């Protein structure tokens, strides 16, 4: 792995957003548009954390090899941040989406709380760098007990976000890498390659729209490139097409 100064991160500011389950990640992370909505003010000290459960290793052996393979149990992860807005929306994230609004406007604490289900996005800004965690589906609920510790700092609601598998996805959440410009070209092969060297692979066929093919004539039998979602694409002489040339 080569040194890449542009891939380092010092968080200067950030935002946490939610949207209906299944909402795509915004095209512009700096200016997320509707239906993405900011959850509000969050802690400057306890910015973001990820904890995990599971993932225990079990060594499987044969009579001839006692350590033939290793099998890992499923791992679940929880993203955590501290929300510092005690409005209705913030209280419902903490106490449950089914927390009732009482006649006097206060928020009731349900005896059988239901986590909020939503798409979740955490965006962190470091100068010109933008780094994000995105989950198309997540359960959002309290992550710890509420405690008011002093009179010198803003009180907070510890929020936990559990990413979940959405639809046919084989992943629960995605992370945007730093220091990698998107590919601008694709060279035919079996499979082919993207240029410039070290550039980020287009996520899917739609992301190939601005990629220039080499050669610009129709690719020949078997030639293709592999996209970020593991699908294949090839140049038919006029457009990018799913699959490989035949």
Predicted local confidence at residue 2, as pLDDT: 67
Q: Is the pLDDT of residue 16 over 70?
A: yes
Predicted local confidence at residue 181, as pLDDT: 73
Q: Tell me what percent of the residues of the chain surpass a pLDDT of 70.
A: 99
Between 189 and 3, name the one with better pLDDT: 189
pLDDT digits (tens, 9 = 90+) for 185-227: 999 999 999 988 777 888 889 989 999 999 999 999 999 999 9
* Mean pLDDT, residues 42-46 taken together: 94
Q: Tell me what percent of the residues of the chain surpass a pLDDT of 90.
A: 82
* Mean pLDDT, residues 157-178 taken together: 94
Q: How far apart are the first and last CA of the chain?
A: 36
Name the pLDDT band for 229 (thresholds 50, 70, 90). confident
pLDDT digits (tens, 9 = 90+) for 55-100: 899 999 999 999 999 999 988 999 999 999 999 999 999 999 999 9
Name the pLDDT band for 149 (thresholds 50, 70, 90). confident
Q: Identify which of 61, 60, 58 has the alpha carbon closest to the alpha carbon of residue 72.
A: 58
Segments of the chain assigned E as strands = 13-19, 37-38, 49-54, 57-60, 69-72, 75-83, 116-126, 129-142, 157-163, 174-175, 185-187, 193-195, 212-214, 225-226, 232-235, 240-242
């Amino acid at each position: 792995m080569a040194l890449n100064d542009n891939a380092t991160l010092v968080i200067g500011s950030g935002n946490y957003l939610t949207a209906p389950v299944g909402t795509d990640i915004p095209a512009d992370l700096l200016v997320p548009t509707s239906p993405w909505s900011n959850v509000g003010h969050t802690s400057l000290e306890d910015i973001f954390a990820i904890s995990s459960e599971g993932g225990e290793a079990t060594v499987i052996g044969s009579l001839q090899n006692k350590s033939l393979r290793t099998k890992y149990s499923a791992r679940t992860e929880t993203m955590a941040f501290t929300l510092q807005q005690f409005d209705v929306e913030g209280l419902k994230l903490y106490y449950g989406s089914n927390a009732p609004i009482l006649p006097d406007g206060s928020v009731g604490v349900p005896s059988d709380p239901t986590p909020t289900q939503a798409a979740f996005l955490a965006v962190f800004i470091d100068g010109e760098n933008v780094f994000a965690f995105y989950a198309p589906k997540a359960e959002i609920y309290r992550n710890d007990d509420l405690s008011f510790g002093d009179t010198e700092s803003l009180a907070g609601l510890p929020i936990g976000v559990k990413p979940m598998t959405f639809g046919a996805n084989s992943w629960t959440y995605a992370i945007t890498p730093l220091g990698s410009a998107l590919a601008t070209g694709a060279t035919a092969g079996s499979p082919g390659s993207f240029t410039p060297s070290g550039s980020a692979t287009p996520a899917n066929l739609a992301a190939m729209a601005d990629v220039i093919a080499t050669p610009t004539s129709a690719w020949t039998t078997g030639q293709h490139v592999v996209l970020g979602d593991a699908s294949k694409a090839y140049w038919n002489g006029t457009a990018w097409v799913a699959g490989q040339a035949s």
